[in-house]
Amino acid sequence: MHVNFLDPYQDGSSLVHQADARVKLVLTAAFILTTALTPVAAWPVYVLLVALAFAAELLSELGLGFYLKRALLAAPFVLAAVPLLFTVEGETLARLPLGLTITSAGLDRFITIALKSWISVQMAVLLASTTSFPEILSAMRALRLPRLLVAIIGLMWRYLFVLADEAMRLIRARQARSGIGEIPGRRTGGQLAWRAKVTGGMAGSLFLRSLERSDRIYAAMLSRGYDGEVRSLPHPGISPGGWTTLAVGLVILASLLLLGHLL
Residues 38-67 that bind another protein (CB under 8 A): none
Nearer to another protein by C-beta: 8 or 12? 8
Measured distance CA(69)–CA(84) in Å, rounded: 26
CA-based nearest residue to 93, from 111, 75, 116: 111
Measured distance CA(45)–CA(23) in Å, rounded: 23
In the window 87-116, what residues touch another protein (CB under 8 A)?
87, 113-116
Least distance to another protein from the beta carbon of 93, Å? Answer: 19
In the window 119-138, what residues touch another protein (CB under 8 A)?
119-121, 124-125, 127-128, 133, 136
Binding of another protein by 32 (CB under 8 A): yes
Binding of another protein by 241 (CB under 8 A): no
- Cα dist from 45 to 34, 52, 242, whole Å: 10, 10, 26
What are the backbone angles phi and psi of residue 201, rounded to the nearest 5°?
-60, -40
Least distance to another protein from the beta carbon of 178, Å? Answer: 13
Applying CB under 8 A, which of residues 10, 101, 104, 199 lies at the interface with another protein? 199
Nearer to another protein by C-beta: 59 or 195? 195
Q: How far is CA 82 from the centre of its chain?
A: 23
Binding of another protein by 250 (CB under 8 A): no
Binding of another protein by 172 (CB under 8 A): no
Applying CB under 8 A, which of residues 94, 196, 247, 251 lies at the interface with another protein? 196
Which distant-in-sequence residues (6+ apart) come within 8 Å of 86 by Cβ? 100, 101, 102, 103, 106
